Chain A
Amino acid sequence: MTTLTYAWRAARVTPLGELYTPPRITAALLRLTVQVVLVASLWHGLYAQTGTTAGLSRDQAVTFAVLAVLASRLRELDQYAGRDSVAQHMYYGTIVYWYLRPLSPHRYYALRALGEQLYGLAWALGGYTVCLAAGVVVPPESASVAGVFALSLFLGQWVLHYVMLLIDQLCFWTLRNTAALLILIFAQNLMSGVYAPLWYFPHWFLTLSSFLPFQATLNVPLSLYVGRIPLSEAGFQLGVQAGWLVALRFLTRFLWRRAARRVVSQGG
Chain B
Amino acid sequence: MTASIEVRGLSRTFHTTVRRPGFTGVLRSLVNPERVEKHAVSDISFDVAPGELLALLGPNGAGKSTTIKMLTGILTPTSGEARVAGVVPYRERERNARNIGAVFGQRTQLWWDLPVRESFSILRDIYEVPKAEHAARLREFDELLELSSFWDTRVRHLSLGQRVRCDLAAALLHDPPVVFLDEPTIGMDVVVKEQVREFLRYQVAERGRTVLLTTHDMTEVERLAERVVLVNHGRLVLDGTLDEVRRGFGSTWQVRATLADPHTPVGPLPGIALVSHDGPQVVFGPDGPAAPTVHQALKLVIERYEVTGVAVDEADLEDVMRAAYAEVRAKAEAA
**Chain A interfacial positions (CB closer than 8 Å to B):** 2, 5-6, 8-10, 13, 16-17, 20-21, 81-84, 92-94, 96-97, 99-104, 263-268
Contact = CB atoms under 8 A, between A and B. Distances in A.
B93 interface: yes
Nearest to A88: B112
Given A8-B125, A99-B73, A264-B75, 14 more contacts: A6-B125, A6-B126, A10-B126, A17-B111, A17-B113, A20-B115, A20-B154, A82-B111, A93-B104, A94-B109, A97-B104, A102-B94, A265-B76, A267-B65
B76 A20 contact: no
Nearest to A24: B113
A89 B95 CA distance: 23
Closest 4 CB pairs of A and B: A17-B113, A83-B112, A6-B125, A97-B109
Contacts of B94: 102, 104
- Which of B93, B98, B121, B125 is most buried by chain A, counting CB atoms within 10 A of its CB? B125
B122 A6 contact: yes
A155 B76 CA distance: 38
Nearest to B131: A5
B73 A100 contact: yes
Contact of B118 (A2, A16, A92, A99): A16
Contacts of A6: 122, 125-126, 128
A228 B233 CA distance: 67
B97 interface: yes
A82 B114 CA distance: 8
23 contacts: A2-B125, A9-B121, A9-B125, A13-B118, A13-B122, A17-B113, A20-B114, A20-B154, A21-B113, A82-B111, A84-B113, A96-B74, A97-B104, A97-B107, A100-B100, A100-B102, A100-B109, A101-B126, A102-B94, A102-B97, A102-B98, A265-B76, A266-B75
Nearest to A99: B74
Determine the main DSSP class of A at the interface with B. helix
A10 B122 contact: yes
A101 B72 contact: no
B185 interface: no
B65 to A, nearest CB: 8
B254 interface: no
A177 B107 CA distance: 22
A2 B65 CA distance: 33
B209 interface: no
B284 interface: no
B126 A263 contact: no
Determine the main DSSP class of B at the interface with A. mixed
Nearest to B101: A100
Report the contact-size class of chain B (Cβ under 8 Å from the partner): 35 or more
Contact of B74 (A5, A10, A84, A267): A267
A154 B112 CA distance: 30
B74 A264 contact: yes
A81 to B, nearest CB: 6
Given A17-B111, A102-B126, A263-B74, A96 B69 contact: yes
Contact of B112 (A82, A99, A103): A82
Contact of B114 (A2, A16, A263): A16
Interface string B119-145: 001110111100000000000000000
A196 to B, nearest CB: 34
B107 A103 contact: no
Given A6-B125, A265-B75, A268-B69, A96 B115 contact: no
Given A82-B113, A84-B112, A99 B93 contact: yes
B108 interface: yes
A264 B112 CA distance: 25
Nearest to A82: B113
Contacts of A264: 74-76, 90
Given A6-B128, A9-B121, A20-B154, A93 B72 contact: no
A263 B94 CA distance: 15
A82 B122 CA distance: 15
B66 interface: yes
Interface string B72-107: 111110000000000000100111011010101001
A100 B69 CA distance: 10
A163 to B, nearest CB: 24
B196 to A, nearest CB: 19
B111 A84 contact: yes
Contacts of A82: 111-113
A266 B66 CA distance: 10
A199 to B, nearest CB: 39
A94 B102 CA distance: 12
Nearest to B121: A9
Contacts of B108: 94
Contacts of B154: 20
Contact of A100 (B65, B72, B122): B72
B302 to A, nearest CB: 55
A82 B154 CA distance: 11
Contacts of A83: 112-113, 156
